[in-house]
Amino acid sequence: MNQQSIINNLPSHLQPFAALQHYQRYNARDHAVWRFLLHQLRQNLAQTAHAVYIDGLTRTGISLEAIPRIEDINSCLEKLGWHAVVVDGFLPPAIFMEFQAHRVLPIAVDMRSIDHMLYTPAPDIVHESAGHLPFIVDVDYAEFLQRFGELGMHAIANKDDIAVYEAVRHLSIVKEAVNSSEQIITEAEQALEAAIAANHEVSEAALLARLHWWTVEYGLVGEVDDYKIFGAGLLSSLGESVSCLSNTKVNKLPLTVDAIATTYDITHQQPQLFVTKNCRHLTQVLEEFGRQMCVNRGGPASLQQAVKAQTVNTAVSNSGLAISGCFNHIITDVVGNVTYIKTTGATQLSYKHKQLPGHGIDYHAQGFGSPLGRLQSLERCLSSYTIDELKQQGIAEGLHVTLNFLSGICVVGELTHIVRREQKNILMRFEQCTVTALNGDVLFDPSWGVYDMAVADAIDAVFGGTADPQHYALYAAPSEQSTQLPSYDDKTRHVFSLYQQVRDLRESLLVDADNQTTKAAALKLSKQIIQQASDEWLLLFEAIELIDSLNKSDDLLLLRESLATTLAIEGECANEEKRCVINYAISRLSVS
C-alpha cells in the first residue's frame, strides 16, 4: 500500500497531520549520518537492549545503511497489523495518541543534522523509526502501545498544555534550522520557559505524558539491578544509550504508577529511570492510572476538571448523549450531584461518536446548557420512559410542558421534538422556553431562541477532545509553524557529492572487492577529501572505512594515516558534542 492510500484510509481529521516522504530530499550526508548512528547504536545496544530490539530492526524494514523508505516500513508493518505515516515534527499529543490508537505509528520525516547526532531537539526519523518501530514486533508491547493511544487521546489537557506544546514545537524547529541565530534560539528557549512556568495545574494529559516518557520513551525492563533498554529515547541516543547504564549517575527505580509524580526535562539527560518487569507489567501500571481518568470516572469531579482545563472536552451522559465543548459552569447540589452543566462557544451534540443531525458547532455556536437529574414526579430517569409513558405524564410533542427537577430547576415551554436513540430519550427541544434555578436565576430566556435540553440524570464519562472529531476537529492542521527545509551553497553541495561518491564506491566493493579501478578511485577520492573537505569529520571517517575495506598497500596505509590524523585534529578542535561523536568514530576505526 502506498503512502497516499494509507493516508486516505485514516479518519478525515487525522489526514492533515500525515505528510509524504519525498525521499530525494535526503542528501548523501543525511544517509551517512543515519548509517553512522545505526551502526554505532547497534554496536552499543547489542548486549544492553532488550533481545527483541535487534530482531525488530530487521523485521520492521530498518536498514543500517540508508534512511528507510516509508513504503518498505509499511510492507513489514502490514504483516503485524500496523501502519506508519510520516509527519512534520511534533504533533499535538492527543493527535499522536490517536494515531497509536488506530495502530498507526507517526514517524517524523526529518533527519537530524550532523551537528545534532547525539541529541536532537526535534523529532526525527532516527528516533521514530529506529527507536519506536522495533518493539512493534512484540505482540504484548504493540497492544500496550495501542492501549496507551486509546487512553492518551481521551486525556484532558488544559490550555497551558497547548501553549507548552506550541513552544516546544517552535523551539525544536528553530534549533534544528541551520539559519537560526543565537538570539532567535534564546528567545524560543525563554518562550518555552515562560509557558512551562505559567502551567500551574498538572493536567491529566500531563500526568499521562510523564508515564509515556518513563516507559515508552525512557523505559528499562527487567530488575533494578539487572535490566535492558527498551525506551525509544534511549535506543535512538548515542549518548544516553551508554550513560543510562551508570548506576552512580542514573538512579534506577522500580516502575509503579507513582512515576507520574516525577517530572522530566527534554533538554537534559535523565537523573533517574524506571524499570518495568515486562510488557504485562507495563499494561498493569497503565490501567492503574487509567482507572482514575475522567473518561472512566465521570461525575462532578471530572466535570470540574474539564471546567478548570478551559479547553474543549466531552461529557457523556447516562442516556448516551455526548456534549463536546468548553465547559465553563456546573451546578451541583449539597450532596454533590450535578444538576446543571453549561458550555461556552462552539459545542457539538453526539451519540455513540456520531454527531446528531442539526446539532453541530454551527447550530450550537454560542454554547449549550442543560439541567441534569430526575423530575419530582417520576421515579426513573426521564430518558428511560417510552413515548406512551411520557404522554401519561403530560409530556408530549406539541404540548406546553412544565418539568420540575428535584434540584429545583424548572423548565417551562412548548415541547416540539424528542430525539430518541436505542429506545431512550436523549434530547428534548422546546420553544418559548424559560429555565430557572431554585434561587430564581434565569438559566434560559425565551428571547434567546430554541432550547435544547439533554435528557439524563448523571455524567458517566468526561474526556478530552470531541465525540465526533470528523465534524468537530480541534486541530485543522499540525501547527502554524512548519519545519524549515535547509538551503545549501555550492560548497556544501560539493561536499554532498563527495559523500555520494564514497557510498557508490563502497557499494561497488560489495560486488567486486578486488576491482583495481575501484581501488584507484578510492585513492583519488580520499586525497580529494583531505584537500577539499578536511573539516567534514564524517566524510573523513567514511573515507577511512573505504580504505580499510581494500587490500592493504603502502600508499593506502599512508593515506589512511593521513585521514586518521586529520580526523583526530578535527576532534580536538570540536565542541563537546562533536568531539564525543568523533571519539565514537575513532573507537569504531580502532575496533575494525
Both 71 and 111 in one domain: the answer is yes
Both 545 and 418 in one domain: the answer is no
Confidence tier at 117 by pLDDT (50, 70, 90): confident
> Could you report the per-residue pLDDT of 275-310, keeping only the tens digit for each?
999 999 999 999 999 999 999 999 999 999 999 999
> Could you report the per-residue pLDDT of 309-339, keeping only the tens digit for each?
999 999 999 999 999 999 999 999 999 899 9
- Give the residue from 237, 265, 287 where a domain finishes: 287
Both 408 and 519 in one domain: the answer is no
Both 278 and 355 in one domain: the answer is no
Q: In which element (H, E) is residue 369 found?
A: strand 367-371
- The DSSP secondary-structure symbol of 132 reads I
Both 15 and 111 in one domain: the answer is yes
Confidence tier at 560 by pLDDT (50, 70, 90): confident
Confidence tier at 397 by pLDDT (50, 70, 90): very high
Both 232 and 120 in one domain: the answer is yes
Between strands 220-223 and 272-276, the pairing is parallel
Please name which of 408, 383, 406, 387 lies closest in space to residue 460, comparing C-alpha atoms. Answer: 383
Please name which of 407, 41, 76, 388 lies closest in space to residue 233, comparing C-alpha atoms. Answer: 41
* pLDDT of amino acid 432: 97
What percent of the chain is predicted at pLDDT more than 70? Answer: 98
Report the alpha-carbon distance of residue 346 to residue 26 in Å, rounded.
42
**Do residues 73 and 107 touch, judged by C-beta distance below 8 A?**
yes
Both 72 and 131 in one domain: the answer is yes
**Do residues 162 and 216 touch, judged by C-beta distance below 8 A?**
no
> Could you report the per-residue pLDDT of 237-259, keeping only the tens digit for each?
888 888 899 888 899 999 999 99
Residue 65 lies in a domain: yes
Residue 530 lies in a domain: yes
Residue 472 lies in a domain: no
Domain that holds residue 429: 294-464
Extract the C-alpha cell encoding 11: 479518519
Residue 267 lies in a domain: yes
> Could you report the per-residue pLDDT of 447-491, keeping only the tens digit for each?
999 999 999 999 999 999 999 999 999 887 666 566 667 788 999
In the three-class reduction of DSSP (H, G, I as helix; E, B as strand; rest coil), residue 276 is classed as: strand
Both 413 and 423 in one domain: the answer is yes
* pLDDT of amino acid 478: 66
Q: In which element (H, E) is residue 419 found?
A: strand 410-421
Report the alpha-carbon distance of residue 431 to residue 363 in Å, rounded.
15
* pLDDT of amino acid 480: 58
Both 149 and 166 in one domain: the answer is no
Q: In which element (H, E) is residue 347 found?
A: strand 338-351
**Do residues 529 and 28 touch, judged by C-beta distance below 8 A?**
no
- Give the residue from 287, 313, 348 where a domain finishes: 287
Confidence tier at 13 by pLDDT (50, 70, 90): very high
Report the alpha-carbon distance of residue 62 to residue 105 in Å, rounded.
14
Both 388 and 302 in one domain: the answer is yes
* pLDDT of amino acid 592: 54
Please name which of 135, 286, 118, 136 lies closest in space to residue 208, comparing C-alpha atoms. Answer: 286
Please tell me the total number of residues recorded for the chain in this structure: 592
Q: Which DSSP string do the residues of 144-213 spell out, in sequence order?
A: HHHHHHHHHTTS---HHHHHHHHHHHHHHHHHH-TT--HHHHHHHHHHHHHHHHH--S--HHHHHHHHHI
Residue 112 lies in a domain: yes
- On the question of pLDDT at 591 being above 70, the answer is no
Report the alpha-carbon distance of residue 347 to residue 327 in Å, rounded.
9
Residue 480 lies in a domain: no
Extract the C-alpha cell encoding 528: 580529494
* pLDDT of amino acid 88: 86
Report the alpha-carbon distance of residue 103 to residue 189 in Å, rounded.
34
Chain centroid offset of residue 429 CA:
40
Residue 474 lies in a domain: no
Q: What is the CATH number of the domain that holds 103?
A: 1.10.800.10
Q: Count CB neighbours of 227 within 10 A.
A: 20
Confidence tier at 505 by pLDDT (50, 70, 90): very high
Range in 142-156, 297-311, 495-509, 568-582 with the lowest mean pLDDT: 568-582
Q: In which element (H, E) is residue 313 found?
A: strand 312-317
Q: Which residue has the cell 567534514?
A: 536
Report the alpha-carbon distance of residue 129 to residue 212 in Å, rounded.
17
Q: What is the mean pLDDT of the chain?
A: 91
Report the alpha-carbon distance of residue 106 to residue 234 in Å, rounded.
18
Mark out the alpha helices in 443-575 (DSSP H runs): 490-511, 516-532, 537-548, 554-573
Number of helices followed by number of strands (H, E) in the chain: 21, 17
Average pLDDT over residues 121-133: 87
Residue 223 lies in a domain: yes
* pLDDT of amino acid 508: 87
* pLDDT of amino acid 522: 86
Both 265 and 311 in one domain: the answer is no
**Do residues 219 and 231 touch, judged by C-beta distance below 8 A?**
yes
Q: Which DSSP string do the residues of 514-536 spell out, in sequence order?
A: T-HHHHHHHHHHHHHHHHH-TT-
Range in 43-47, 213-217, 432-436 with the lowest mean pLDDT: 43-47
Q: Which residue has the cell 496507551?
A: 148
* pLDDT of amino acid 483: 65
Confidence tier at 195 by pLDDT (50, 70, 90): confident
> Could you report the per-residue pLDDT of 180-190, keeping only the tens digit for each?
788 888 888 88
* pLDDT of amino acid 484: 65
> Could you report the per-residue pLDDT of 47-100, keeping only the tens digit for each?
999 999 999 998 999 999 999 999 999 999 999 999 999 998 888 899 999 999
Considering its fold, how many domains does the chain have in total?
4
In the three-class reduction of DSSP (H, G, I as helix; E, B as strand; rest coil), residue 53 is classed as: helix
Both 374 and 395 in one domain: the answer is yes
**Do residues 415 and 398 touch, judged by C-beta distance below 8 A?**
yes
Work out the angle between the directed axes of helices 537-548 and 576-591 (0-180°, nearest 10): 0
The residue ranking higher by pLDDT, 523 or 468, is 468
- Give the residue from 200, 229, 253 where a domain finishes: 200
